[in-house]
Structure 1
Amino acid sequence: MQTIKVMHVISSLKTGGAETLLCDLVAQLHKKNIQQAVVFIHPGPKVEALRSLSIPLYHLRGAVCLFDPLFFVRFYRMVKKEKPTCIHSSLWAANVVARIIGIFTRTPVICVLHNNNDQNGFVRNAIDMLSLWLADELIAVSEGVVRTMRTYRFLPAERVKVIRNGIDAVQVRARAQEQIISHEQLGFLPTHFIIGAVGRFVALKNYSFLLTVFARIYRDFPSARLILVGGGPEESRLRAQAVRLGIKNAVCFVIGQKAYGYYRLFDCFVQSSTKEGISIALLEAMSFGRACVVTTSERDHEVIENGKNGYIVAANDEDALYEALKIMIEKPFIRKKCENAAHITIESNFTLAKMVGEYENLYYFSSIRRL
């Protein structure tokens, strides 16, 4: 069997689902003694986690600015130096540059698509239409991403395959044990009903909508509290909104910390995004047996079965989200049923081992295809 060497290329190593997924994937492949190198464009907290594995790690930069000629020359040289049998790219910018360099170095390229293409904007979609065909494999993290790719009429449906995100529930709980957080540390009481959300403070996560709905919940259920774990450009605006809504003392903003230790505090997890693939934060919350409420613009959800392992409500429907959260507060027996089913869902369908195995097979077949 041919020896596999994977070069991972990612736009960012900041805090995010795709970044966490890459670190977990690299760590698992490292345990299997698969040779790897990682190239990143924007540094972040995940750099140290990868550096601890003692694998080649490259920060890709241009001479004057990103994506200038020297940027591509340096990337070309990195690939020629490492001689990977395939390139695995994640996030939009990394996907584009990997497709280009893959052609010049004759290296198979596997592009992973984490977001719906209607989130990319006109310019990015135009670039995709010109370059997607250069990839050897196109992998979507969810069926929802596949559906949006069908708007590219030039791209045959069978070109896009699905490998669903997965997590190591045992590892997630072990990380939580290293980060013990109490209600009192946050100024809350054990009797408070904690609603939690995890994700970047950006428009897509729709936290402004969540705060609006939570204000209604807090008015009717004064023991309710909200924890937002994340950080990002909308933080100041969201804090100001909490003040305007009169819920400042009922909302806790947790900035720049890992979420693992906070899941145990949640009585209910909420994902208020207008659009989302298979969220790592959602999978992690479910692995702790948290009852979840998700908003979506789609009719169905790939992880949540409405009324079984959580609740699905239409995106931006304030009344629907209010009613779902009200059920979680008022009907603990329903919440308990969702909690039990959530844990089983992760163990059955969204394990890291399953995801890693599928990528490992893909690396092998992509590599031998060019022999």
Structure 2
Amino acid sequence: MSTTAASLDIAHVVENLERGGLERMVIDLALAQRAAGHRPRVACLFAPGALADELRSQGVEVFACHKTAGLDLGAVRRLRAWLGAAPGTVVHTHNANAHYHSVAASFGTPVSRLLNTRHGMGAAQPRSRGEWLYRRSMWRTDVVAAVCEAARARFADQGVRPRARLLAVPNGIRVETFAAANAERRAALRNVLGLAPGTRIIGTVGRLNPVKDQATLLQAFARVHAEAADTALVLVGDGALRAELQALAGASGAGEAVHFLGDRGDVRQLLQGFDVFALSSRSEGYSMALLEACASGLPIVATDVGGNREIVADDRNGLIVPAADATALATALLGLLRDPARAQRLGTVGRDWALREASVQAMAARYEALYRGASG
């Protein structure tokens, strides 16, 4: 990202800063922008969320609109006043709800440019009221950035047409903060979980919800564990399905080898203790969890959805399997566990790729060019 051009006032708008891939991307991007001499700030439509203090501690303002359910004109007025505090601000919104509220709030403010990033594969119901409002907001939107090429193509099909361009800008992560998985960390994680020495750990990170489809992963792991008893499954993340998934694990016959760690702030360290990373999602955009697994040098098994193939090249840094197919997922996992040399080779290729291509600095440079009016 440029450090010689004039600095920019950048206003990010999100729903909140709870733990998640979108929120992690916004925080990392804002901090990279501040380090480059720009003046980023973040507004949350609702409450600030668990990660807000991470930004505040680094001198980045976090403002909460405290929006209530339904139409809340008071929240729009509060957002308008906040956006207008710095003339010439570039407004960068994240996902549809934050975007059309920001478009409404931008009237009468000295906003210089308005960009939106869509962080998934698009709405399950493209004819919903929220998506209608989002498409209507395109007349005042300069650029929409999808996070992968697969998502960009889908948005084009759904009629998302900003004034300048619809393009793909891949997410980036702070790759320099991730160390490769190693024997010492694996031994430490086994010790914390009370596992026998030599236990191979299959790990996953993500919210416990239907889209991530940890149910299929649990079914696959039961088959893996039946053939390889020296294995354990670790799920990092929390969500509405936790009790249901715990019950499913208990009924699978492999429940004693399944560990639910909940919402954690030490994901980087946990990744270093895994042997294999699994992502069983039914839908993904450009998965931050997969980027982090690559940066940690882990061989990956991921489902063939969304932008996963843009991160995981089949049989180069991982394996791609059909979604919702427990048999295929189990077969791929067993294949990597039975061939550790191959697994290590895939992990090394993934880490090398992440260090070259997946940095937050590369992402920030792409966005800065768009903020300054580049066509992409």
Whether TM-score is above 0.5 comes out as yes
CA distance in 2, matches of 1:170, 1:72: 38
Query: What root-mean-square deviation, in Å, do the aligned CA atoms of Structure 1 and Structure 2 show?
Result: 2.4
> Is it true that 1:272 corresponds to 2:284 in the alignment?
no
> Is it true that 1:52 corresponds to 2:64 in the alignment?
no
Instruction: Measure how far apart 1:84 and its partner are.
Output: 4.7
The residue number in structure 2 matching 1:317 is 325
Structure 1, unaligned runs of 5 or more: 367-371
- Higher-helix-fraction structure: 1
> Is it true that 1:43 corresponds to 2:48 in the alignment?
yes
CA distance in 2, matches of 1:247, 1:87: 49
Q: Aligned pair in 2 of structure 1 residues 353, 156: CA closer, same or farther (>3 Å)?
A: closer
CA distance in 1, matches of 2:306, 2:44: 32
Q: Aligned pair in 2 of structure 1 residues 211, 145: CA closer, same or farther (>3 Å)?
A: same
Which residue of 129, 137, 148 corresponds with 2:154? 148
Task: Report if aligned partners of 2:151, 2:307 keep a CA contact under 8 Å in 1.
Answer: no
Alignment partner of 2:202: what SS?
A: strand
CA distance in 1, matches of 2:307, 2:292: 23
CA distance in 1, matches of 2:349, 2:175: 15
> Is it true that 1:197 corresponds to 2:201 in the alignment?
no
Alignment partner of 1:283: what SS?
A: helix
**What is the correspondence of 1:129-140 to structure 2 with a 5 Å cutoff?**
129-140=135-146
Q: Aligned pair in 2 of structure 1 residues 184, 93: CA closer, same or farther (>3 Å)?
A: same
Instruction: Measure how far apart 1:158 and its partner are.
Output: 7.5
The residue number in structure 2 matching 1:215 is 222
The one-letter code sitting in structure 1 at the alignment partner of 2:52 is: V
CA distance in 2, matches of 1:296, 1:347: 23
> Is it true that 1:74 corresponds to 2:108 in the alignment?
no
> Is it true that 1:61 corresponds to 2:69 in the alignment?
no
The residue number in structure 2 matching 1:23 is 27
Task: Report if aligned partners of 1:100, 1:134 keep a CA contact under 8 Å in 2.
Answer: no
Instruction: Measure how far apart 1:132 and its partner are.
Output: 2.9
> Is it true that 1:112 corresponds to 2:105 in the alignment?
no
Range 357-366 or range 153-162, more displaced: 153-162
Which residue of 8, 14, 37 corresponds with 2:12? 8
CA distance in 2, matches of 1:113, 1:248: 37
CA distance in 2, matches of 1:334, 1:23: 35
Task: Report if aligned partners of 1:230, 1:254 keep a CA contact under 8 Å in 2.
Answer: yes
Task: Report if aligned partners of 2:42, 2:63 keep a CA contact under 8 Å in 1.
Answer: yes
Q: Aligned pair in 2 of structure 1 residues 9, 118: CA closer, same or farther (>3 Å)?
A: closer
Structure 2, unaligned runs of 5 or more: none
Which residue of 352, 355, 360 corresponds with 1:352? 360
The residue number in structure 1 matching 2:343 is 335
CA distance in 2, matches of 1:182, 1:278: 28
Instruction: Measure how far apart 1:155 and its partner are.
Output: 3.0
The residue number in structure 2 matching 1:230 is 237
The residue number in structure 2 matching 1:164 is 170
Q: Aligned pair in 2 of structure 1 residues 291, 170: CA closer, same or farther (>3 Å)?
A: same
Instruction: Measure how far apart 1:126 and its partner are.
Output: 2.5
Aligned residues: 363
Task: Report if aligned partners of 2:13, 2:42 keep a CA contact under 8 Å in 1.
Answer: yes
The one-letter code sitting in structure 1 at the alignment partner of 2:241 is: E
The one-letter code sitting in structure 1 at the alignment partner of 2:140 is: L
Q: Could you state the TM-score of these two structures normalised by the residue count of structure 1?
A: 0.91
Q: Aligned pair in 2 of structure 1 residues 356, 319: CA closer, same or farther (>3 Å)?
A: same
The one-letter code sitting in structure 1 at the alignment partner of 2:255 is: K
Task: Report if aligned partners of 1:37, 1:82 keep a CA contact under 8 Å in 2.
Answer: no
The one-letter code sitting in structure 2 at the alignment partner of 1:195 is: I
Which residue of 156, 179, 187 corresponds with 2:194? 187
The residue number in structure 2 matching 1:206 is 213
Instruction: Measure how far apart 1:209 and its partner are.
Output: 0.8
CA distance in 1, matches of 2:160, 2:147: 21
The residue number in structure 2 matching 1:369 is none
